[in-house]
Structure 1
């Protein structure tokens, strides 16, 4: 009897413990898409058009397939040593779009590491061999002419970072999705008076915008470079020529915020302050006071989208409200899927180029308001 009681007590102990046991199940992250594919020998990357952002590599493999009657196969090709940040966000945009559409999909990522011709050619070949016909290719504009000569037959290729108006030639099976800073500058020119001034920083993008500005605006009185470090802002902004001028800020969001606050601090009031998409960012609202930006006018080429689509894409970590690359990717995947027959996206594609309509905005205490 003693042994029987011992056995019953031991059995009760294990049974009781097992009913209270909690097992932690680690779910896979929705941005985790498998294990890396084998890559060619790394060749030192060429000089970038977009400043390189090296982050953890995107894991490449086939995405899970949603059970539905529709299906779309999409390949994303990108050089991680140059545009890793853009690629991750763009893929999140694609996943959010597929989730919103509730379609069956298969997505595979091909990382060329750099923009050398051999790796690019191999990535397109591997995509075709795997049966993909739709491609989003996140390459900088400097290699677009080579992309035209690569074997992309039977593929529909969308280039979010390239605008057709900047190219000498184009391919009929390519769709070009980059915004036009020239169109934005032309739109801002509506506010120009006969006294134009500009502050600018040196970078690939701001140098490009400066060239557009120089050929668009007239009677330019002042052009001052804002250095990345050690600026004497009092000496920069305290210039009588800036008063009542049309001041064009071709600077990053942080420098723009400092300049706006310094102008008001020294009672230097331009008639209007203009800037492009580079400062269409909610940070300008938090880094400045409302009075600092009372006469600030911004240009943006991002259009509004369906609220549910916006929220779904946002839940995947993408930003189609302020990040034009994410918005361009959304336009691209939607066009590759059904040529926008549904009219889901208001931005049109004409003659293989996404046709953005720049709009002008002012800031309020709470956000941005379009100027009608």
Structure 2
């Protein structure tokens, strides 16, 4: 802890000496390293791993190909070496100017974590940046248009906007020449979105479809009446056809006894938990209390969180399958985010935000830089790969 404080104080002193005395950074661009492949022969993943085992890091860098990005270990090593040897150095490229637009009262904690996620990414890239926050009171059409006009007037061209569906709908209509990324909404929910607006929302319909492949023909569902839950319920009904039991868990005190006692309809059923983490955990435990033995418990991204391991006993979650879209996160980026008080590997909004800023970085801010994430943006939407996970005794692990 003392070492951490010492480092932090050193950072403050350095910052004071740099800015307090009116000095400015040198205009001389940072040096950039280039590694040439003088062999010319193709090198597959085995070849690259041989270089690593022998300590031939320069050979590894020169022979690495982006076509091998699916190899998580190789990709992470290459990105770490890229930073170490300044392969993606800022050079003479200008500082990044980025606007962040959000309604803090509507999205609450995500307002701060989104900004921190962007800062963590740019710190990892070691690129100078200028970020300005535009906080709006509401997401009505007038507020969105006013904010966009203000952003445009101040000379910003790139915007990250974690909005709800209401705000995203208006934003798509007033995007103008700005390039925007909305991490919180899926493109399918917005009609006629322009090409300049990109989306990072989770494809819940895809997740329900993946979960349905593990269900039997006897489907039940629980929800909480929220907008998201109603959407998930609709996806389940469309895929399942017949629902043998449907129950809404409202905000008032839940009477599990009247709901579950001798409820034989739920035995050997595929139960969808379209409820947030705490309610899902309570329901999973109460099913066991009332000796109900479901065929399987199924849930989407909303319950992919390590707190599930604390809120439930292993026997409660033994049959639970969770759909997850979060994939590979570089270790250095994970550490920086952790120091800023949040995670990427269990928070899909932060994860989506990182993908969005990664897309801006490699396509506009520092073209030719190596992407840090494996997801592509296809037709204006982040294309996630859904995987099913189980919560074992100590951690969340892939089901297969």
TM interval, short-chain normalised: 0.7 to 0.9
Q: Residue 344 of structure 1 corresponds to which residue in structure 2?
A: 372
CA distances 1:164-215 after superposition (whole Å, capped 9, x unpaired): 1122211011111111111110110101111111121111211111111111
Contact 1:194 1:218 in 2 (8 A): no
Are 2:223 and 1:200 aligned?
yes
- The correspondence for 1:171, drawn from 175, 188, 194, is 194
Q: Residue 245 of structure 2 corresponds to which residue in structure 1?
A: 222
Structure 2 distance, partners of 1:278, 1:304, is 19
Unaligned runs of 5+ in 2: 1-8, 16-89
Q: Residue 124 of structure 2 corresponds to which residue in structure 1?
A: 100
Higher deviation after alignment, 288-297 or 212-221: 212-221
Q: How does 1:3-82 map to 2 (within 5 A)?
A: 69-70=92-93, 71-82=95-106
Structure number with higher helix proportion = 2
Residues 226, 27 of structure 1: alpha-carbon distance in 2 compared, 3 angstrom cutoff: same
Contact 2:375 2:383 in 1 (8 A): yes
Contact 1:72 1:105 in 2 (8 A): yes
Structure 2 distance, partners of 1:96, 1:237, is 46
Higher deviation after alignment, 356-365 or 332-341: 332-341
Q: How many residues align?
A: 312
Contact 1:302 1:327 in 2 (8 A): yes
- The correspondence for 2:390, drawn from 335, 358, 362, is 362
Residues 107, 178 of structure 1: alpha-carbon distance in 2 compared, 3 angstrom cutoff: same
> How much has 1:25 moved relative to structure 2?
11
Structure 1 distance, partners of 2:226, 2:248, is 11
Matched residue of 1:161: which SS? Answer: coil
Q: Residue 277 of structure 2 corresponds to which residue in structure 1?
A: 253
CA distances 1:334-362 after superposition (whole Å, capped 9, x unpaired): 11111395131011111111101111000
Residues 304, 264 of structure 1: alpha-carbon distance in 2 compared, 3 angstrom cutoff: same
Q: Residue 288 of structure 2 corresponds to which residue in structure 1?
A: 264
Are 2:142 and 1:114 aligned?
no
Residues 266, 84 of structure 1: alpha-carbon distance in 2 compared, 3 angstrom cutoff: closer
> How much has 1:26 moved relative to structure 2?
12
Are 2:144 and 1:129 aligned?
no
Are 2:169 and 1:145 aligned?
yes
Output the TM-score relative to the length of structure 1. Answer: 0.79
Report which of the two structures shows the higher radius of gyration computed on alpha carbons: 1
CA distances 1:4-48 after superposition (whole Å, capped 9, x unpaired): xxxxxxxxxxxxxxxxxxxx99969x9xxxxxxxxxxxxxxxxxx
> How much has 1:219 moved relative to structure 2?
2.8
Contact 2:140 2:166 in 1 (8 A): no
Structure 2 distance, partners of 1:315, 1:350, is 32
Output the TM-score relative to the length of structure 2. Answer: 0.74
> CA-atom RMSD, angstroms?
2.2
